[in-house]
Structure 1
Amino acid sequence: MTRALRPDLAVIARHVAPGSRVLDVGCGDGALMAALRDESQVDARGLEIDPVNVATAVARGLSVVQGDADVDLADYPDASFDYAILSQTLQTTRHPDRVLEHLLRIGRHAFVSFPNFAHWRVRASLLFGGRMPVTRLLPVAWYATPNIHHVTIDDFRALLRERGIAVEGSWYLSNGRTARPGAANLLAEHAVFLLRG
């Protein structure tokens, strides 16, 4: 089933220890949670802002509540999960630095994945077209996008250094395949980080 997952979710699924307790923040329709439950016997819980996605996840038999990462993560107790996961959601939060702090407080480890706004196609669109890009992976016009913080891999690495957050693993993806770490800020469309506070 992990083959059917979005590439960043497949990376996360391969690296979550079987039998773990997981909180998936911004879990969408619960695809990752279902894969973790079915393939690795993970006790997965979810937090999702979209009521349609919550209903879909609950219909899959998943434990998902409707909530906002910017507000509701403060209510979770310290170290209550082995992993806190935030996939393709960081850039949509109002306070991504605070959300990251909560993830690392709630989980012993945290997975964070996000689209890289420094990818060469995004840069080329701005340079040659002079407009905010609409690409295969960023398919929505600037006025309708949920992305309010345009983060790059180098921006995220700098934040981690500033906050003293340890990186246990990182994966950079382009066209669903792994890209080299050295050129990731230019060549990777997505990044996945495994962190420890």
Structure 2
Amino acid sequence: MTALRPDLAVIAENVATGASVLDVGCGDGTLLAALRDEKHCDTRGMELAPANVGACVARGLSVIQGDADQDTVFYPDKSVDYAILSQTLQTTMRPDLVLDELLRIGEKAFVSFPNFAFWRVRLSLLLRGRMPITRMLPVVWYQTPNIHHVTIQDFRTLLKDRGITIEGNWFLSGDTSCRTAAANFLAEHAIFLLSRAA
């Protein structure tokens, strides 16, 4: 598999060969290209940034410019096997509604996000009293696109409240997997595979 960011590598490993995929907030199309070329998936994407849309088109990918908060409504119900939202949930205006849309469009959904309860984030706030800058949160607070600071526990609660089933979860500290039991404290990044009964 093409060298991918760790959360994208987890998603790519767990997408079925030949599946149909919609990547919402697909960035420059790195994941879509890997799924198309190496797993023979039928891929399409949506991306807000015009420069990233251009990069996707240059790779020969089917990507439109659109906003996760507004434009997913144009996709039909259950039109893809997997809807993907990687490192985008925390940047949306209404993450709960975006999640509902993902599971309306896709039979299953992959969602990944930085965990704001990661121990280094907590320590930075405790000792320095400042919002941290980490590998997963690489910009200062006033430049970040993150408007919702979600933790793994917050996300699990949201899923329970909305009747969403967790089919799989993976937790990363750096590039390494960490224990599920202590993930809210030890994981820098979380990836969930979700579904909802019809």
- Distance in 2 separating the partners of 1:85 and 1:137: 18
- Distance in 1 separating the partners of 2:82 and 2:138: 29
For residues 131-180 of structure 1, give each alpha carbon's deviation from its aligned partner in whole angstroms, at most 9, with x where no partner exists.
11111221101100000000000000010111110000000001111110
Q: What is the identity, as a one-letter code, of the residue corresponding to 2:28?
A: D
| SS class of match (1:70) | coil
- Distance in 2 separating the partners of 1:46 and 1:75: 13
Match of 2:40 in 1: 41
- Distance in 2 separating the partners of 1:141 and 1:91: 15
| SS class of match (2:171) | strand
What does 1:15-30 correspond to in 2, within 5 Å? Answer: 15-30=14-29
Match of 1:80 in 2: 79
Match of 1:179 in 2: 178
- Distance in 1 separating the partners of 2:38 and 2:74: 29
What does 1:116-127 correspond to in 2, within 5 Å? Answer: 116-127=115-126
| SS class of match (2:70) | helix
Q: TM-score, normalised by structure 1?
A: 0.98
- Distance in 1 separating the partners of 2:186 and 2:68: 29
For residues 19-38 of structure 1, give each alpha carbon's deviation from its aligned partner in whole angstroms, at most 9, with x where no partner exists.
11100000000000000001
Question: Which structure 2 segments of 5+ residues have no match?
Answer: none
Match of 2:158 in 1: 159
- Distance in 1 separating the partners of 2:17 and 2:182: 32
- Distance in 1 separating the partners of 2:135 and 2:35: 27
Instruction: After the TM superposition, list the runs of 4 or more consecutive aligned residues in structure 1 that deviate by more than 6 angstroms.
Output: none
- Distance in 2 separating the partners of 1:58 and 1:12: 22
Residue 53 of structure 1 pairs with residue 62 of structure 2: no
Q: What is the identity, as a one-letter code, of the residue corresponding to 1:161?
A: K
1:16: Cα distance to partner? 0.4
| SS class of match (1:124) | helix
1:181: Cα distance to partner? 0.3
- Distance in 1 separating the partners of 2:26 and 2:152: 22
